Structure 1
Amino acid sequence: MNFSSARQYFYQEIQQPDEYIDLAKAALYVAQEEYPELDVEEYLNALDTMADEVGERLPSSRYPLRVIQSINQYLFDDLGFVGNQTDYYDPRNSFFNDVIDRRLGIPITLSLVYLEIARRIDFPMEGVGMPGHFLIRPAISEMEIFVDAFNRGEVMFAADCQDKLTQMFQQPVTLRPEFLATVSKRQFLARILTNLKYIYLKKQQIEKSLAVVERILLLFPDATSELRDRGFLYYQLGYYPQATKDLQIYLENVPDAEDAMSIRWLLKEMRE
């Protein structure tokens, strides 16, 4: 499979209404641009098998905490899935096939393994985009519990989330409702891609950064900051007409942006 057909499959998957997007497929299409030979079905089958094995262990009384306990035992004790503490910024932590193969990932991709198994055993869960850390929770409105897939499925309550934020930001953080808001499937995929984008930017891999930003813009065509970033990346690659177009649209949308002056200077430089 070539790069553009993986992109095409990704695009087709995210064209559907949000609730119909298959997160596992979409995440595997993201990985397929990196691994053109990747067999998506093989990984979907692996998730089916995992779910079947969890299903066999479920207690007859399916209390949410007992279901979570069964998933935790299977994923973290039996299979040995673990958060990659030593090399958090390895791009493989963001590629879903690598996460399944290596049993190693970051909060959002380990959450995806968890969500996909939970969905297959009819225990729907949803992503929670807490600042700086990703959690999941059972999709049961009266139940305020959270699961941290990066820390072996630790069960947390709102107060624990506040402690976690305080610990991460090394200063007292007041828990606001939006910190524990559930994310849409598009937002979930954008968060995986944003992780990859920063990894590639840090490594100065401009073409790979551009490929990631293009996919974020497929998810959110009106994301002005991504449009600006794509303009900068085009500029760095010497694609001046494309860079000019993106940066001009950005300025039209955000004329009083903090970086407006430097962007006008850049546009002038490209014209000359």
Structure 2
Amino acid sequence: MELDEQSTLEEPVINTNLIHEGIDFDAYSLLQLASMAEAEITGHSAIELQHNMRLQLIVIKSQLASYNEANMDKLTALLNNVYHVQNFRGDWKAFFKVKNALLSSVLSRRKGVPISLGILLIETLKEVGFSADGICFPSGFIVKVELPDGPAYIDPFNGEIVDLMQLELKVRGQLGNHARLTPEMCQADSKETVIKRYVNVLKAAYIQAESIELALLCSDILLRLDPEDALEVRDRGFLFQQLECYQLACNDFTYFIEQCPEDPIVNLLKRQIKQMSDELVAQVIH
């Protein structure tokens, strides 16, 4: 599936600023928020994605109707249904592709990356009576489910329940052998934090696909939520630079240098500003 197939939705509509700094995240589910972000980027309807997910939920909910309590037995049955019967799974072969990040594509292909699969899994869990949230874990997105006997942690990439020892191994694999699992790492993240993670994953996928304009739309959403995020302003500057919008890139690099003067990348950015300024002068002369 190439980039022109990145969404399963049809009839594009215009969506602007669905995600903004003043949005009430508690008024929406994670799926609604993520589909709103996707709609801004792809230009397709968020409502249709949510409708397609609703049809999927009706099927799963009917197959779990015999379970009265939100306990481990019901959780095991749900994961078996989603990952074995419905055959949702992580896609190692094309991990960084746009089609594995966009919810609409993941829902239709049943393959994706942890953050996209995790958002769909959280929606499914809540629909059948579980309390579930996302954790932006160091090694990848984790779903946390509250059960009568304590929390369960799920790796949404493969649908496996992981214990604290396995989580620590993931931390050490990502941060180094001296890193340790901390209680803070096991705390659920806010919807805003999860949505930022989702949009960042989309941005990285678009950059890898050399769809710089779409990556820039992702950056715009992130800066609406946190206008003073110096790192994101710097990243936007690199995107502007690739699009040969040199003045905008210089402005963003200058802002980053002012906010983070001790950052190791500052000298590189100063050279980039000099080169782009020379290019702007040459354009005016010619």
TM tier, smaller:
0.7 to 0.9
Query: Quick one: higher RCO (CA 8 Å, sep 6+), 1 or 2?
Result: 2
Aligned residues with identical type, % of pairs: 21
Q: 1:160 to 1:31 in 2, by over 3 A?
A: same
- 5+ residue gaps, structure 2, are 1-10, 279-286
- Give me the whole-angstrom Cα distance separating, in 2, the residues matched to 1:50 and 1:200: 27
Which residue is 1:232 aligned to? 238
**Where do 5+ consecutive residues of structure 1 fail to align?**
none
- Whether 2:272 is the aligned partner of 1:263: answer no
Of residues 205, 210, 217 in structure 1, which corresponds to 2:216? 210
Indicate whether 1:130 and 2:137 are aligned. yes
2-structure distance, mates of 1:176, 1:255: 31
- Aligned partner of residue 140 in structure 2, secondary structure: coil
Change (3 A) 1:162 1:60: same
TM-score (norm 2): 0.82
**Cα offset for 1:110?**
0.7
Matched, 1:81 2:104: no
Shift, 1:120, TM fit: 2.2
Q: Given the alignment, which residue of 61, 70, 73 partners 2:77? A: 70
Superposition pairs of residues 109-128 of structure 1, within 5 angstroms = 109-128=116-135
**213-222 vs 161-170, which moves further:** 161-170
Q: Match for 1:144 among 151, 157, 177?
A: 151
For each residue in 1:148-168, what CA deviation from the matched residue of structure 2 results, as whole angstroms up to 9, or x when unmatched?
A: 1211x2112211211333456
Partner of 1:16: 23
2:283 corresponds to: none
Give the secondary structure class of the aligned counterpart of 1:8: coil
Tell me the secondary structure at the aligned position of residue 198 of structure 1. helix
For 1:195, the aligned partner's letter is V
After superposition, the C-alpha distances for 1:177-217 in whole angstroms (9 at most, x for unaligned) are 33323221122122122222223333443323222211221
Q: For residue 9 of structure 1, give the secondary structure of its aligned residue in structure 2.
A: coil
Q: Which amino acid aligns with 1:10?
A: I
Provide the residue aligned with 2:4 in structure 1. none
1:30 and 1:95 in contact (8 A); partners too: no
TM-score computed with the length of structure 1 as normaliser? 0.86
More helix by share: 1
Give the root-mean-square deviation of aligned CA atoms.
2.6
